[in-house]
Amino acid sequence: MNHETNLKKIQQEWHGSLEHYLIGFIVSLILTLSSFFFVGARLFTEDTLIYTIVGLAIFQAIIQLIFFFHLGRETKPQWSRFSFYVMVTVLLTILIGSIWIMNDLNERMMSFMTEGHHHHD
Amino acid sequence: MNRPLTVHYQDTLEKHPDLSVPDPHQDSYAKNSMGFWMYLMTDALLFLTLFTSYAVYKVETFGGPTSQELFSLTTAFTETVVLLLSSLTCGLAVLAAVKDKRASSLFWLGVTFVLGAMFLTIEVKEFVEFFEKGAGWNRSAFLSAFFALVSTHGLHITAGLFWILVLSLQLIYQGITSDTFRRLVIFSMFWHFLDLVWIFIFTFVYLMGVI
């Protein structure tokens, strides 16, 4: 087995291509335009709008991860993919945990303290 | 491993790779890019904590300016498109280097720099406007969290711009070698990451702030 990975070999095995970058760019642009348009034109109600743009953001992040980062195309062992999943797990724990806890605390406060805040019951 | 100091353009190849381990990726390209990916994962968690703080504090306007009053969607959209374009041109710089086209690679790196500088200029102008309206980072918790999050991203962009300068000099004086190619690829990972974070900034800060 030849372990000599030199520059030429890396260049030959390169995952990305012009098409990948262009697809990633154009899809991202469309998703961005949609988000801004939906909000600017106030196309939906507040809640629907929030879910829509968050969904569009996550979708665009996935598109960029695939087309710019080439995530998912590495050979085994897939350390990058694994560490990504670990990061996402920690991220979701901290994010959802913090927002849930702080929201819960807000609701336990007396009403006059939270006047003027937007929160859902 | 004793190597003479002048020979820094050769890949740090393990002369006797350990074949008993499951991972055969023991060249510096694979090791460094994986290590840098790990760093990006920790950087993502850093931004996460800033986002979470912002999520908690964004209603605490303390009688001061609110996001609806301050944020301009035109500004945010311009910044987004500029950064997205710079991510593309960065990818093009890497593709040129893959094909050993040094001049082309330097050109696209230059365009990336210009776009990044444009982004920073727009952002700094926006910050100055906020200060002049009395919406500095000390006005309210909302603004403190906003500035902490967006400035951290801006500082990363600034570091990226310096990185482009140094990398360009290396490409000019050393050409496309194992080392400079590896550094270019790692820079592109960094730059794409910053665009990724910006997606969440424009969604959760600017768009949600205007709804």
Residue-by-residue DSSP string for B31-69: HHHHHHHHHHHHHHHHHHHHHHHHHHHTT--TTS--HHH
Verify whether the Cβ–Cβ distance B11 to A7 is below 8 Å: yes
Q: Mutate which of B31, B52, B210 to disrupt the A interface (most A C-beta within 10 Å)? A: B52
Read off the pLDDT band of A115 (50, 70, 90). Answer: low
* SS3 at position A78: coil
Query: Quick check: B195 and A64 CB within 8 A?
Result: yes
Predicted local distance difference test score (pLDDT) of residue A15? 74
Given a cut of 90, whether residue B31 has pLDDT beyond it is no
Q: B23, A79: Cβ pair inside 8 Å? A: yes
A65: its two tokens: 């991860």
What integer pLDDT is reported at residue A113 of this predicted model? 57
CB pair distance less than 8 Å for B17 and A29: no
- The residue of A3, A20, A44 whose CB has the most chain B CBs within 10 angstroms, and thus the best one to mutate to test that interface, is A3
What's residue B17's pLDDT? 54
Encode pLDDT of B184-194 as tens digits: 999 999 999 99
Interface of B with A in 172-211 (CB under 8 A): 176-178, 181, 189, 192, 195-196, 199-200, 202-204, 207-208, 210-211
Q: Residue A116 pLDDT > 50, yes or no?
A: yes
* Reported confidence tier of residue A72, pLDDT bands at 50, 70, 90: confident
Res B22: pLDDT? 59
Distance CA A76, CA A120 (A): 45
Report which of B207, B197, B209 is spatially closest to residue B154, judged by C-alpha positions: B197
Indicate the pLDDT class of residue B4, thresholds 50, 70 and 90.
Answer: very low
Asked if B161 is an interface residue toward chain A (Cβ–Cβ < 8 A), one would say no
The tens digit of pLDDT for each residue in B114-136 reads 999 999 999 999 999 999 999 99
Mean pLDDT in chain A?
83
Predicted confidence at residue A114, as pLDDT, reads 53
A7 vs B197: which has the higher pLDDT: B197
Task: Give every CB contact of residue B98 below 8 A, 6+ residues apart in sequence.
Answer: A11, A14, A16
Place of tokens 């593709």: B95
Contact with chain A for residue B124, Cβ under 8 A: no
Q: Work out the average pLDDT over B41-69.
A: 93
Mean pLDDT, chain B, whole residue set? 89
Q: Please give the share of chain A, as a percent, with pLDDT higher than 90.
A: 45
CB B176 within 8 A of CB A2: no
pLDDT value at residue A35: 94
Name the most confidently modeled range: A34-43, A90-99, B156-165.
B156-165
Write the pLDDT tens digit of every residue in A6-31. Answer: 788 788 878 778 998 999 999 999 99
Question: pLDDT confidence of A120, banded at 50, 70, 90?
Answer: very low
Query: Worst-scoring range by mean pLDDT, A64-78, A85-99, B88-102, B126-140?
Result: A64-78
The reply to whether ipTM tops 0.95 is no
Given this model, what pLDDT does residue A117 score? 55
